Amino acid sequence: MTIPKMKNFRLKFQHRCAPILFSLALAITPLHAAEDQPNYLASDEPHAINLLAPPPLADSDEQKFDLAEVVAVQHASSTNDLAAAMLQDKGVSLAYFAPIIGDGLETGKWPVTKAFLKRVQKDADGVVNDAKNYWKRPRPYVADPTLLMGKVQKSFSYPSGHSTESMTLALVLAELFPDKHDALVAEAHEIGWHRVEIARHYPTDIFAGRVLAQAIVRDMKKNPDFQKDLAAAQTEIAAAQK
């Protein structure tokens, strides 16, 4: 008799709790999905795996040349360049572009613009991480441990996240500050190249990141929400400059 009673109790319990559990599922699931979903990109665009050529094969002459370039660049870099590169090691900051566009992002003058750019950067980060985890290219200091500066990083090398994110931000910022286009792109180039100087990336990682960034911005521009938020940022900046 004990087993049937327990079975009945369990059925009643599940029946009574089902609406509560269902409500919780509705409340929780969209939250996690929203966190994972891109802001301005379709979930599968741009597809870096189809867009980019694979990185050099591990034992190829191309790989040896790529590594030799990292060695040469690091040895030729000044102490100041290496120090600047290490300061940027944790990630791409919007503050890197302040000398070009002004301090409006950092001082809170452009909160709408800052939120917009953060969403742009999040999208770029998602695209590049998917590509890294697909190709799983080890970083240069894995091939040559003498190149290591600072701590070992767990993520992979191809394409470069710093190069992708900084160029994505530079190209979007150029939509907001068209007269600063060349300076913004030059800053993104420098951020990416710093990664070679401290052997976080190969040159091919950097170049791939720049190509990927162009595709990311191209696809973002197709999104009406991107265009709306871009226009809001343009309005905010114009109002702050009056």
User: Tell me, what's the pLDDT at 13?
Assistant: 36
User: Tell me, what's the pLDDT at 35?
Assistant: 53
What mean pLDDT comes out for the span 114-125? Answer: 97
User: Tell me, what's the pLDDT at 20?
Assistant: 35
DSSP 51: H
- For residue 232, the SS3 value is helix
What mean pLDDT comes out for the span 155-170? Answer: 98
Distance in angstroms (rounded) separating the CA atoms of residues 87 and 90: 7
pTM of the model: 0.84
pLDDT in tens, 193-202: 999 999 999 9
1 pLDDT tier (thresholds 50, 70, 90):
very low
Average per-residue pLDDT in the chain?
A: 88
What mean pLDDT comes out for the span 168-181? Answer: 98
Distance in angstroms (rounded) separating the CA atoms of residues 171 and 174: 5
Distances in whole angstroms, Cα of residue 47 to Cα of each of 35, 165, 209, 235: 20, 16, 13, 32
pLDDT in tens, 18-67: 433 333 333 333 333 345 678 999 877 788 999 999 999 999 999 999 99
98: pLDDT strictly greater than 60: yes
Structure-token pair, residue 48: 């870096």
Angle at 84 between CA 78 and CA 89, to 5 degrees: 125
241 pLDDT tier (thresholds 50, 70, 90):
confident
212: pLDDT strictly greater than 80: yes
Count Cβ atoms within 10 A of the Cβ of residue 84 and give its class: 0-12 exposed, 13-18 middle, 19 or more buried. middle
| Helix residue ranges, H only, the chain | 2-36, 48-51, 61-76, 79-87, 98-101, 111-135, 140-143, 161-176, 181-197, 203-220, 224-240
15: pLDDT strictly greater than 90: no
69: pLDDT strictly greater than 80: yes
Q: Which of 21-25, 159-163, 169-173, 229-233 has the lowest mean pLDDT?
A: 21-25
Residue 8, phi then psi, degrees to nearest 5: -65, -40
* Percent of the chain whose pLDDT exceeds 90: 81
User: Tell me, what's the pLDDT at 16?
Assistant: 44
What mean pLDDT comes out for the span 63-83? Answer: 97
